[in-house]
A and B are shown apart, each in its own frame.
Chain A
Amino acid sequence: MKKTLIMTTALVAVAGSVAAQDLTVMSWGGAYGASQIEAYNKPFAELTGKDIVMVDADNPATPIKAQVEAGNVTIDVADVEYSDAIRLCDEGLLEEIDMSTLPDAPDGTPAADDFVAGALTDCAVANIVWSTVFAYNTTNVEGEPTTMADFFDLEAFPGKRGLRKSAKANLEMALIADGVAAEDVYDLLETDEGVDRAFAMLDTIKDSVVWWEAGAQPPQLLADGEVVMSTAYNGRIFNAAVGEDQPFEIVWDGQIMDFDLFVIPKGAPNAELALEYISFATDTQRLADQAKWISYGPARVSSGALVGLYQDGVTEMAPHMPTAEANLENALVNNFEFWADRDAELNERFNAWLAN
């Protein structure tokens, strides 16, 4: 029975698969995917002469789980979020990666030390640091919001708010707005009281919230005037503000940093080349190059110094990075272990809270 079920799933999965190539990379598409094509894929193809295909997914973790479980893997490298990387690795769906094969920094610092703390796990190598921040449309907001508390202050800054429709990031931001220090947030969320307190804070703005799901939505909501402030991925706001001249301003207070990581699904058809690709893409220069296309920070310390101008040739990228010194005040690093454990429970409660 099990065999046949797996076989049929595999057959169905074939429908969504792509023709065999030298290397197939799955990522999130959009401006982010484009930055990876420019910074990683093109130079890698030039270097090795291999054919690289980029496949988009809403969240690559989902197709990977399906493909590996069905025993029909067509993806060699995937770009996933941290908690998914941990979960997939725990469930044995990913190849382990030997971190000693990653190239050292130009000054000789070993890779293990060169990467930002937490950027390397058993199965995954981080390539960027992105963050969830809140941003506002300067034409629709009177005054200047500067703190996370301002986001929750409907009296001082009236108008609708945009929030991502999930528990992650919202609970942390609610606590920070409520005066909890960034380093205490996850300790507090481990307790029922902390969760209650976060939801109570969210309750204060619940009726004024427009919920978004796709990363492209917040810039649109802000541009339409549908919300005056919204949480968003910092890269999306940067691209809208700098690339499209939208009057958006990012507030870095209480930003929640996160990694995107490269993983190799178990049974990837070209696992060796995949490892080669990851080593190449996460070297110091390549990570710095990616910042030219999108304002996500490189996961290597040594790349920071190499980050230059935006593709427009005039905008200095460094201050727009989540990892810039000025932006790190009161910043929070997403606790992946916490979310890997509590995701189901807290989202269940979040969904119930939302629906009631």
Chain B
Amino acid sequence: MADTTSSDIPTDSGTLQTADGRPLKAALATAQRSARNRAFYLVLPLLLFVVVTFIFPIGQMLMRSVSDPRFIEHVDLGTGEVTPIMVGLRTWFDENPAGTEPDEAAYAALVADLVHLREIRAQGNAGTRINYVYPGARSMFTGGARRAGRLEPPFKDAILDMDEDWADPALWQTMRSSSGRYTADFYLAAIDRERDAQGNIQKVDEERAIYLLLFERTLILSVVITLLTLILGFPVAFLLATLPLRYSNVLMILVLLPFWTSLLVRTTSWIVLLQTQGVVNDIAVSVGLITDESRLQMIYNQTGTVIAMTHILLPFMILPLYSVMRPINPSYVRAARSLGATSWTAFRRIYLPLTIPGIAAGSLLVFILAVGYYITPALVGGSRGQLISNLIAFHMQNSLNWSLAAALAGLLLGGILILYWLYDRLVGIDNLKLG
């Protein structure tokens, strides 16, 4: 026993070694590797799932927001064959700087490209790509491609004869900026910017500017909704956390009840309650609070959006708050009181700071959900209660301009990542308690 001293551990120029002479660090790494591998294999299915269903689709979406190559190549969806298109025109763009007046060569290249488009039936795609920025271009391309084969030089006159919009410098600028594989145009459009005929960035017309307004409105409404859920949810969470278990269980069921009801049902219930001929107005009229003529407009506007979304998102505030409040020992507040603090001071100085992880988590959760919500605002938001997500949905489903939808979503994603980063800096992400 006594001679098992440290001098028996083999050492080699200062590094510790195992009994059989291997470096200790290497031995440790080997011993831990199998445990690490096992852990990795355990999460592998989830990792694959997340990559396939989340990371790749989002990556693809973000890719679309900067790249819509339908003006430079055509993919035959039957065969998968990729054919470069608009080659002549793009060569002309490469050789002539932006703002150059299109000459006969440019028009000749255009006609040749249109003929080529016609051959491979790509005129619709190419036209649609330009049409996003230059309205009317789609039919110019489809019509132009149909007749391009019959045009005779000089091509400039022939094309302008067909449709004089072909001379519009804005169209040429659009075609030039669509000739690159990657473009910031969709992000520009997403912040109400466009390029003028010279390629300079400018604001769009007042009457078409919408996205910045909606981003701002989304931000404001989301903050309002977050604050409302906090104000309404905090006392409920407190009650949940402090009531004896048998009462708090009942209350918890009431809190969770909305989760078990379809979102559409809940939203529609709000319509039934809040519309001008709805329950709330009917009661107010029948008790003489308001007259039949002055029924309140509580829905199909921002009020409706705020009320319905506050209700729907309330559990997402209450649950994180509850999970933070539950383990707070009531003796903290008692201690503060016994030390001379009024109940308000004890709340403000002791209880409130202890619930900050819950407040932050709940607020983050509600805010992030609120900025991305679109079904409820679509149903109860009317015209001014729309959020940016409604426009994203519009471009996904109606205008089918997925690149613009992706750019809008990308901006939203970026904003939320910044928020998340701020949260991490201010509160610390390891303090996040979501329930």
Contacts and interface: CB of A to CB of B under 8 A. Distances in A.
Q: Do A and B bind each other?
A: yes
Contact of A12 (B53, B142, B396, B399): B53
Interface stretch (B331-339, B380-388, B420-428): B380-388
B394 A355 contact: no
A209 B397 CA distance: 23
A354 B386 contact: yes
A5 B124 contact: no
Contact of B383 (A5, A211, A225): A211
A343 B399 contact: yes
Given A5-B59, A209-B383, A337-B139, A344 B401 contact: yes
Q: Which of B209, B213, B398 counts the most chain A CB atoms within 10 A?
A: B398
B60 A344 contact: no
A71 B209 contact: no
A266 B277 contact: no
A184 interface: no
A14 B277 CA distance: 44
Given A224-B278, A341-B135, A351-B394, 6 more contacts: A5-B60, A5-B63, A90-B138, A90-B142, A91-B125, A344-B132
B78 interface: yes
Interface string A52-90: 000000110110010011010000000000000001011
B135 A8 contact: no
A11 B52 contact: yes
5 contacts: A87-B128, A89-B124, A90-B125, A225-B277, A356-B213
B378 A71 contact: no
Given A347-B399, A351-B394, A71 B383 contact: no
Interface string B54-81: 0011011001000000000010111010
Contact of B384 (A210, A337, A341, A355): A355
A155 interface: no
A68 B207 contact: no
B290 to A, nearest CB: 16
Contacts of A91: 124-125, 128
B121 interface: yes
Closest 9 CB pairs of A and B: A90-B124, A345-B135, A352-B210, A8-B56, A5-B60, A354-B383, A225-B277, A341-B139, A62-B397
A92 B121 contact: yes
Given A62-B397, A224-B277, A340-B138, A8 B52 contact: yes
Nearest to B217: A355
Interface in B314-351: none
B276 A226 contact: yes
A50 interface: no
Interface of B: 52-53, 56-57, 59-60, 63, 74, 76-78, 80, 121-125, 127-128, 131-132, 135-139, 142, 207-210, 213-214, 217, 275-278, 300, 378-379, 382-384, 386, 391, 394, 396-401
A274 B276 CA distance: 48
A262 B179 CA distance: 35
A92 B145 CA distance: 15
B192 to A, nearest CB: 9
Contacts of A341: 131, 135-139
A355 B383 contact: yes
A26 B166 CA distance: 39
Contact of A8 (B57, B125, B139): B57
A349 interface: yes
Contacts of B378: 213
A4 B77 contact: no
A147 interface: no
B386 A355 contact: yes
Contact of B128 (A90, A224, A226): A90
A226 B394 CA distance: 25
B138 A351 contact: no
A93 interface: yes
A308 interface: no
A87 B399 CA distance: 10
Given A68-B77, A211-B382, A226-B276, A344 B399 contact: yes
A266 B386 contact: no
Given A341-B139, A351-B394, A354-B386, A210 B300 contact: yes
Q: Which of A206, A349, A351 counts the most chain B CB atoms within 10 A?
A: A351
Contacts of B138: 90, 340-341
Contacts of B213: 352, 355-356
A343 B404 CA distance: 14
B127 A59 contact: no
Q: Which of A59, A224, A355 counts the most chain B CB atoms within 10 A?
A: A355
A160 B124 contact: no
Contact of B382 (A5, A65, A210): A210
Contacts of B56: 4-5, 8
B77 A93 contact: yes
B208 A349 contact: yes
A92 B122 contact: yes
A226 B275 contact: yes
A342 B136 contact: yes
Contacts of A355: 210, 213-214, 217, 383-384, 386
Contacts of B127: 90
Contacts of B400: 61-62, 65, 87
A335 to B, nearest CB: 11
Contacts of B136: 341-342, 345
A59 B397 contact: yes
Contact of A92 (B125, B208, B214): B125
A69 B382 contact: no
B71 to A, nearest CB: 13
Nearest to A69: B77
Nearest to B80: A71
A162 B280 CA distance: 21
B125 A348 contact: no
A138 interface: no
A59 B128 contact: no
Interface in A1-35: 1, 4-5, 8-9, 11-12
Q: Which of B76, B131, B382 counts the most chain A CB atoms within 10 A?
A: B131
